[in-house]
Amino acid sequence: MRDDSTMKIFIVNDDIFSLGLYEEQIKSLGYYNISTFKSCAATLEELSNAPTIVLLDYNTADMNGFEALNQIKKQNPLIYVIMFMMEDRLDLAAMALQMGAFDSIFKDGQELQKIKEVLFQISEIQQVLYFKKPQNQSIT
């Protein structure tokens, strides 16, 4: 079995309270490899550390969420980006998906539950990929 608790997760939010809240939630789900960022710029600099998942807020002070999403996807299209959106902005959420985001979460008070669901989905996808991947590449 693949242990998904090692998945590296970045959280980007310029609100420290939200950062703490989301981090606590993700920790409680059993993931421990979590880094938090208060700006998109700092996040982009750390992308070389190959996060599996980036939880990105649409409204961060230093950069438009779509721009950050674009940059992340450019650097590594394999990263799962999850965008936090204003409530009921389906139009923006759809756009985010078109630009390669894995999913969107509306800030409607149900974020924590939604985070749990999305991480579970990603974990399942990873699981499938893991079993599809050739196990032994060693040459004899």
CB of 15 to another protein, least distance (A): 4
CA of residue 4 relative to chain centroid, distance:
14
Closest CA to 83 of 61, 63, 56, 62: 56
The rounded distance, in Å, linking the Cα atoms of 18 and 20 is 5
* Member of 70, 111, 116, 121 binding another protein (CB under 8 A): 111
- The yes or no reply on residue 15 touching another protein (CB under 8 A) is yes
Query: C-beta of 23: minimal distance to another protein in Å?
Result: 9
Q: Helix or strand or coil: residue 99?
A: coil
Asked if 3 touches another protein (CB under 8 A), the answer is no
CA 83, distance to chain mean position in Å, is 7
Q: Which span (2-10, 31-39, 116-124, 132-140) binds another protein, by CB under 8 A?
A: 132-140
Q: Which stretch binds another protein (CB under 8 A): 4-12, 36-44, 54-62, 116-124?
A: 54-62
